[in-house]
Amino acid sequence: MKVTAVLLAAGQGTRMKSDFPKVLHPLCGKPMLWHVLEALKSVTTEKPVVIVGHGAEEVKKYVGDSADCVLQEPQLGTGHAAMQAESLLRGKTDYVIVTYADMPLLRGETFRQLLETQRSNSGPLSLLTVVADDPRGFGRIVRKTDGTVDAIVEEYVATAEQREIKELNVGAYCFQADWLWGALHRIQKNPKKGEYYLTDIVEIAVKDNLPVQAVVHDDFIETIGINTRVHLSEAEAALRMRINREHMLNGVSMMDPASTYIEVGVRIGKDTMIMPNTYIHGNTFIGERNVIGPNTVIRNTTVGNDCRILASVLEGATLEDDVDMGPFARLRKGAHLKSHVHMGNFGEVKDSTLHEGVKMGHFSYIGNTVIGARTNIGAGTITCNYDGEKKHPTEIGEDAFIGSDTMLVAPLKLGDGARTGAGAVVTKNVPEDTLVVGMPARAIRKVQRKTKK
């Protein structure tokens, strides 16, 4: 049995008031379209078909090889959009699942239920509905007395009585492929809007006395459709809770899930505690027993076990175990902090490795540098790695002591056990176990003391 999915993504998304195609707007870090494609993977392994139109080039570029794209030009409605898949799929599949790409919260499980319902339906189609008090402009489901579906009535043509109907059309259908293509051609142009509505296909089946089944969903959240940015934010909040719930069920603690922003794909080990107002994005892996946040942003970063990260920003970094950071520390691309590193407030590390047990407590910039184990970086130390044209490397040995406010002018090497005095400007390499000092202050004149009363 072959099942193929068709995603309708050609519409302009006028109500989004956006220059970007609607289906590429992100939800928890991934475009809307990604979520739909992902959910469909649990019901079919066939390459899906994406119907593109508005912003076709951008959507196609995003989709790449993951689906076949067909251009719908002009966009004459959802029925017309589904019809565009015929040339690719006629005779090639047993079932076609058509779904709107602006329904990103539908789960794989729901698509499976839809397929199962259609497999046991003697008629040609089954659709997904939801029962909800807030109709949100969705089409209403009119049932026959025998319980099968009679019609989908769009809100703007619905009678006052039909508007009271609580069962709504979600926008996901499973068709017998052989029947679908012929039926799509029989859809009449809607006289008011000049469009071909996929929803009218229900009446075509009914006219031919073929039963239409429905899977009734009761989770309105899952059926949030995105027409405006208000819906987008509602979907984002719902998806965020879904993601957070999953982490919590896997052993991650969250003090306040409502203010914890974790994108899809992030992995977190058990007994890690995420404090409020924390953002964990991109390709990030966090190990066990860490305390992250509050007020922390982590992106594309790997964190080991037993770390504490308070009010800090980490991007493209690696932390090993028992690292202590913040508040107000910043790690940039290529920062690698080995185990037991302590990095206090207002430090910045970029393209550098801090070996085991390095301490840098206050106000430092470390760039293009390797620091040996147990070395102490005094307050205000700066690696002067950029001469206006090129970046230069700094190497600091093990057990070194860099005095407060040292300027390390790269390229530069300091041996194991080297020491620098406070305020030193180091321009030449320092051999191991050697102390260098900068220009000490000297007395220049007597001054008048100001005594405060």
User: For ligand UD1, what does the binding mask look like between residues 140 and 159, x meaning CB under 6 A?
Assistant: ------------x-x-----
State yes or no: is 362 an active-site residue.
yes
Report d(CA 77, CA 16) in Å as an integer: 18
The binder of 80, among ligand UD1, Ca ion, none, by C-beta within 5 to 8 A per type, is ligand UD1
Cα distance from N-terminal residue to C-terminal residue, the chain: 93
What CA–CA distances, in Å, run from 302 to 284, 293, 361, 390? 6, 15, 22, 28
Report d(CA 253, CA 180) in Å as an integer: 48
Residue 154 as a binder of Ca ion (CB under 5 A): the answer is no
The binder of 199, among ligand UD1, Ca ion, none, by C-beta within 5 to 8 A per type, is ligand UD1
Closer by beta carbon to ligand UD1, 153 or else 298? 153
Q: Residue 288 in contact with residue 305, Cβ under 8 Å?
A: yes
Residue 225 as a binder of Ca ion (CB under 5 A): the answer is yes
| Nearest distance in Å: CB 211, ligand UD1 | 20
The binder of 76, among ligand UD1, Ca ion, none, by C-beta within 5 to 8 A per type, is ligand UD1
| Nearest distance in Å: CB 102, ligand UD1 | 4
Options 102, 222, 236, 320; binder of Ca ion; rule CB under 5 A = 102
Residue 77 as a binder of ligand UD1 (CB under 6 A): the answer is yes
Residue 175 as a binder of ligand UD1 (CB under 6 A): the answer is no
Sign for the pseudo-dihedral over CA of 43, 49, 51, 52: positive
Quick one: angle between helices 32-40 and 108-119, nearest 10? 50
User: Which DSSP string corresponds to 68-110?
Assistant: EEEE-SS---HHHHHHTTHHHHTTT-SEEEEEETT-TT--HHH
Q: Of the listed pieces 76-84, 204-212, 320-328, 340-348, which binds ligand UD1 according to CB under 6 A?
A: 76-84
The binder of 31, among Ca ion, ligand UD1, none, by C-beta within 5 to 8 A per type, is none
Residue 8 as a binder of ligand UD1 (CB under 6 A): the answer is yes
Phi, psi of 15 (to 5 degrees): -70, -10
What torsion do the CA atoms of 83, 85, 87, 90 make, to the nearest 10 degrees? -90
In the DSSP assignment, the letter for residue 29 is: T
User: For ligand UD1, what does the binding mask look like between residues 210 and 239, x meaning CB under 6 A?
Assistant: ---------------x-x------------
Closer by beta carbon to ligand UD1, 170 or else 408? 170
Closer by beta carbon to Ca ion, 108 or else 137? 137
Report d(CA 306, CA 287) in Å as an integer: 8
Which residue in the list 80, 231, 355, 362 is annotated as catalytic? 362
3-state secondary structure of 330: strand
Closest Cα partner for 385 from 412, 416, 421?
Answer: 412
Sign for the pseudo-dihedral over CA of 149, 151, 155, 158: negative
Total residues in contact with ligand UD1, by rule CB under 6 A: 30
The binder of 78, among Ca ion, ligand UD1, none, by C-beta within 5 to 8 A per type, is ligand UD1
| Nearest distance in Å: CB 107, ligand UD1 | 16
Environment class of 235 (CB within 10 Å of its CB; exposed 0-12, middle 13-18, buried 19+) = buried
Residue 55 as a binder of ligand UD1 (CB under 6 A): the answer is no
Closer by beta carbon to ligand UD1, 228 or else 300? 228
User: For Ca ion, what does the binding mask look like between residues 61 and 100, x meaning CB under 5 A?
Assistant: ----------------------------------------
Closer by beta carbon to ligand UD1, 79 or else 293? 79
Chain centre distance of CA 35:
10
Residue 417 as a binder of ligand UD1 (CB under 6 A): the answer is no
3-state secondary structure of 246: helix
Report d(CA 228, CA 394) in Å as an integer: 52
Q: Which residues are CB-contacts of 230 (< 8 A; sequence separation ≥ 6)?
A: none
Q: Of the listed pieces 72-80, 355-363, 384-392, 425-433, which binds ligand UD1 according to CB under 6 A?
A: 72-80
Report d(CA 171, CA 106) in Å as an integer: 10
Report d(CA 16, CA 136) in Å as an integer: 15
Closest Cα partner for 93 from 52, 125, 48?
Answer: 48
Q: Of the listed pieces 4-12, 41-49, 306-314, 397-405, which binds ligand UD1 according to CB under 6 A?
A: 4-12
Q: Which residues pair with 57 in a beta bridge?
A: none
Q: Of the listed pieces 193-201, 209-217, 261-269, 367-375, which binds ligand UD1 according to CB under 6 A?
A: 193-201
The binder of 287, among Ca ion, ligand UD1, none, by C-beta within 5 to 8 A per type, is none
Options 4, 44, 75, 381; binder of ligand UD1; rule CB under 6 A = 75
Residue 100 as a binder of ligand UD1 (CB under 6 A): the answer is yes
Residue 25 as a binder of ligand UD1 (CB under 6 A): the answer is no
Token pair recorded at residue 231: 């819906």
Catalytic positions: 362
User: Residues interacting with ligand UD1, by CB under 6 A?
Assistant: 8-11, 51, 53, 72, 75-78, 80-81, 100-103, 138-139, 152, 154, 168-171, 197-199, 225, 227
